[in-house]
């Protein structure tokens, strides 16, 4: 096991769902976590839920589609915690509509958040991660290799994210930076306006993705799982 205590993670979209599950897991491993949301109120509420002791939890407002926002947020993390070891690029949106109904604005929002947003987060974090020989983990989806009806925007964003992350991995190995994309199937979150209920118990839970992140960070330095696909262990209901 690697010593993760005192490591610092920056988690976009960390106020709910998968991002929140990862943040809780990493905090439980002794790490310092900085979580973002579009609103500071949402980030602060999530941070307080992770721990009443805020010495290892930081809340920030940032819109990942803005490089300026991400650059400022990362600068604030460095000023507060002194360094950065891990980027979890998790923030995303899901707009699932047939092409006839998909507006230009909805297309742009999906690409700007799910793909360009990750580019912005990486660019904002890169110099600091080079210093610490850190780790970048993007949260993609099985929709990054499996297309489906009504998925033109979402599939395009996630196919692009998988390709971006795999190429990024090759770019950054020479700096000692590890890069992995996690591609979950059905996860029990409120993503795309879904309301989580007992009927979702068969799905992957957000803390399960947190466990995968923990396993990746504890991997021997010589080994890099560059792409992790994960599905529920029972068939879709």
Q: Which residues are catalytic?
A: 154
3-state helix, strand, coil in the chain (%, to 5): 50, 15, 35
Cβ count within 10 A of residue 210: 23
C-alpha span between 195 and 197 (Å, rounded)? 6
Residue 189 gets the label, from left (phi > 0), alpha (psi -120 to 50) or beta, of beta
94 Cβ partners below 8 Å, 6+ apart?
A: 110, 154, 191, 192
Residue with tokens 């300026």: 68
CA separation, residue 16 to residues 49, 54, 80, 85, 174 (Å)? 11, 18, 23, 22, 34
- For the residues of 182-226, what is the DSSP string, one character each? EEE-SB-S-GGGPPP-GGGTTSBPHHHHHHHHHHHHTS-TT----
Tokens of 197: 């209920």
Cβ count within 10 A of residue 116: 18
Q: CA dihedral defined by 18, 23, 26, 28, rounded to 10 degrees?
A: -110
C-alpha span between 115 and 108 (Å, rounded)? 10
């Amino acid at each position: 096991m690697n010593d993760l205590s005192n490591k610092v993670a920056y988690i976009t979209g960390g106020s709910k769902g998968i991002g929140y599950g990862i943040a809780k897991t990493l905090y439980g491993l002794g790490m310092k976590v900085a979580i973002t949301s579009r609103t500071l109120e949402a980030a602060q509420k999530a941070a307080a839920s992770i721990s009443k002791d805020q010495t290892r939890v930081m809340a920030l407002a940032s819109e990942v589609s803005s490089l300026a926002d991400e650059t400022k947020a990362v600068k604030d993390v460095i000023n507060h915690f002194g360094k950065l070891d891990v980027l979890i690029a998790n923030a995303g949106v899901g707009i699932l509509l047939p092409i006839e109904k998909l507006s230009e604005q909805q297309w742009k929002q999906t690409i700007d958040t799910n793909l360009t947003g990750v580019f912005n987060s990486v660019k904002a974090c890169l110099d600091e991660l080079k210093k610490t020989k850190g780790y970048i983990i993007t949260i993609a989806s099985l929709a990054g290799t499996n297309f489906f009806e009504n998925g033109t925007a979402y599939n395009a964003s996630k196919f692009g994210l998988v390709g971006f992350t795999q190429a990024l991995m090759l770019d950054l190995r020479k700096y000692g930076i590890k890069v992995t994309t996690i591609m979950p199937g059905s996860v029990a979150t409120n993503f795309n306006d879904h309301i989580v209920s007992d009927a979702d118990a068969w799905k992957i839970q957000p803390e399960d993705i947190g466990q995968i992140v923990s396993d990746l960070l504890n991997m021997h330095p010589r080994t890099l799982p560059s792409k992790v696909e994960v599905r529920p262990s029972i068939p879709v209901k």
